[in-house]
Structure formats: C-alpha cells, structure tokens
A and B are shown apart, each in its own frame.
Chain A
C-alpha cells in the first residue's frame, strides 16, 4: 500500500488502527532486521522494535512528509538503536568513548537464534570490531543496499563522509579476515 494512503488513513481516527496495522505489515520486518543487525540479540531487538513502533504510533500524525515515510521510520529506528546500545554500554560500565562493539560479542557467541555457518559468524565478529555508527553505515550499505543519499537523510551525515566511512569499514573487515585466516 502507498505510504501516502497509510498516512491519510492514520489521520482519520476511524481508520487509524487499520492504517497502523498496514504500516506494521509493510515495515516491521525491515525495521526488525535493521535493529537486529545492530543489537545482535533477538530479545533486545524485540524490545527496541516495540519501542520504535510505539513512538511511530504516537508521532505519525505529526509526520510532515518532508521526507519519505521509510526514511523517517529508519531515523527513529536508528536513534532507538543508538540509545539502546549506549544504555547497554553504561550498564556494562563501558565508556561511551570506547569505539569497538565488542561488548556485543557475548550475545553473538551465545548463539541464540543464530544458525549461521563459520563464514557468517566470522563476518559478524568482524563487523563487531567497528564502532556503532560505522557498523550502522556498513549494515545499511552491505545488507540493505541503501543508497548513500538515503543513508544521508537517515543519519544526517554527508554522502562523502558516509562513503569514506563505508570504505574504511570494508578495509577493517578485510584486515580482520586476513588476520584470522
């Protein structure tokens, strides 16, 4: 269903719930996987996803349509992920200045809801060596194949900076593979 139709239905109180169900059906998996790749653990992803969509419910009528609905959703999801990860760092007494995402490696090693092979595990471990924001950029480009212009709208960062960040991430991962062959 067209996003404009979903927004129009949401604006009408009598069709609000129907519109929101349609929005959920359309975007829940995309948002879930975007979050899951960041927080790794399924239960954490579940919590964050619920928070995201509750925020969407509360704020959709204020959505000004100056960007795509998809971009707006992604922005909320990304911010919620960063907030969640920062809280997790604080709980584990990890400095927010600590760049690596190694604190998530326990969730990965735990193996719950992960049935990847050695290569997939190695890739995820490599990705966890990246800082959170660089991980975001890499995930969005590599797994979701987003255009740099879309990522720029979501993250509020210039296209050039995103390209540089992505290329650097690829190099780091490549170095990880070479070091762990």
Chain B
C-alpha cells in the first residue's frame, strides 16, 4: 500500500516550510535611502585622517602644562569644599520668626522674679524626699491643681505610715478570723425572729368608779389588802390536799378588781417607775378615778415591757 505521507507537503526545496522563508532581519527606517550619503561621508573622513590635518590648533606647550593644571584645579576644589559654610534647610525662611520670638522671651525674662542662690541645686532631692510616685500623682503645670497649705509637711508621716501598712497587707493578709459554717445564711432569719413584736397583752375594759365612791380614799389600803389576800391564798394553797389542788393564780386573782391588780403590779415595779405611778395610785378626793390619768395604751405598753 502506498503510504500517503503528508510530512513534506508545503516545504518546497531543502524541505523547509514556506513559513520559515520570511527574512527575520530588519534595518532602520530609510537605511538604504541614506546609505549612499553615509558611505560618501565615511570616505571623506578616512581621507582627512590619512592627511593628519584636522584643522584645530592648540596653544604652545599645552599638553606639557595640562597635568599640573588639572592637579591644581583638583586641589582648589577640595579647599573650597572644606571651608564652605552651609545652613540647615529653610534656615533663612524661619530666621525672622525665631529672632522675633527670642526678643519676646528676653523681654519676659527681664520681669520674672529671681530665686535665692543655690535654690535649684538641691531642689530635685527635696522634691523626691517629700513626694512618692505611688502615693501622690505628678502635678503637672497645666493641671492647675493646688494642695492645702502645709499638706506636704503633714503627710510625710502619712506616707511613712502608708508604706509600713502596705508592707503588712502584702505579708500578713486578712485577720485570720473565721465564722461557723452557714452563719450568715442563718443570721437574717435569726434577726428577723428577734424583731417580731410579741402579741400585746389585752387588758379587760376598766370599770369606772364614781367620783364619790368612798373606796378611792383608801387606795393604798386597797393595794395592801390585795397583797395580803394574795399572801393568804398562797399560804392556804400550800396546805391544800393533793386531791383538791388549787392553783395559786386562779385563787388569788379571782374576785379582785382589775384596778387592784394594776396597783399591786405598780407597787412591785422598779423604784424608777414608782414615782411615776405614785401619782396615779394615790387618789385624792377629787380624783376622777383610779388610774384614769393613764392612757390604756401606755398601760399596756408598760405591762408588755415589764413582763
């Protein structure tokens, strides 16, 4: 079978592809147009060179002095560089403003007060002695703050105490005291229990005794009678049989009017109260009634307090 070989198609002679037959080299524009003139100029130049006559002339002995002249110029240039004075950038632009500012400063300095001789010598040490960085803030001029008179002197001791105490706090810490477990949880309830006001004692309504009752005249006698009755009943109960026990309380209070009881309690209260109650226990003829000057509420409060 004949091989259909297309490998050498479009290659022409020498087996080169037609695409490679393009000349890759380029020349400047108008090269070939100007070529003739360039060639003629080159020929003329070569002719002149061969004649050794370029048309320029030089002074006599020029090349003999040339080296020494060059070296001298170099030395002069160096000298100029060393002695040249320079100024900072924009120096002259700012100079006017700086001079004016300095004149103002000089004017101010002439009116400022002077300080004693040697003032500034120990100033920094004095300041460091009196001020500690972590106790007092640095006072800057622009803050405008002042301190009370004598503040620095008084607080030297405060500063020393503060330093001492800070050391203790760092090394010793808390007190070391403890509380029983749950103490604070229970404390509130315990305090609330203590603050509850107990039910007040309710006295029965007093019976008003007419002003003309002869009984009033014998107020002290009545109180003494009540005490005696109480004593007698108590003694009697002491001998009571077991089969018929009688409580002293029920027996002694039965049948005794409330006013008598009140008077009895008043008599057996603290001496400090006696003077106050004597006014109410003693009853002159024209008294309105036993204990009538005492408000019920006051009486109840007193009994609540006493009991």
Contacts and interface: CB of A to CB of B under 8 A. Distances in A.
Contact of B195 (A57, A116, A123, A170): A57
B180 A167 contact: no
Interface of A is mostly: helix
B14 interface: no
B161 A20 contact: no
Interface in B131-179: 154, 157-158, 161, 164-165, 168-169, 171-179
Interface string B176-191: 1111100110011011
B194 interface: yes
B184 A28 contact: yes
A20 B176 contact: no
Given A25-B188, A114-B178, A20 B173 contact: no
B81 interface: no
A33 B177 CA distance: 9
Please tell me the size bucket of the interface on B. Answer: 20 to 34
B114 to A, nearest CB: 36
Contact of A20 (B165, B172, B192): B192
Nearest to A41: B177
Contacts of B157: 167
B188 A24 contact: yes
A51 B179 CA distance: 18
Interface of B is mostly: helix
A170 B172 CA distance: 14
Contact of A28 (B161, B177, B187): B187
Contacts of A36: 177, 179
Contacts of A42: 177-180
Nearest to A116: B176
B187 A123 contact: no
A116 B174 CA distance: 8
18 contacts: A20-B192, A21-B192, A25-B188, A28-B184, A32-B187, A49-B191, A53-B194, A53-B195, A114-B177, A114-B178, A115-B176, A116-B175, A116-B177, A119-B171, A120-B175, A121-B176, A124-B175, A167-B161
Closest 8 CB pairs of A and B: A116-B176, A120-B176, A57-B195, A170-B161, A113-B178, A24-B188, A53-B191, A119-B172
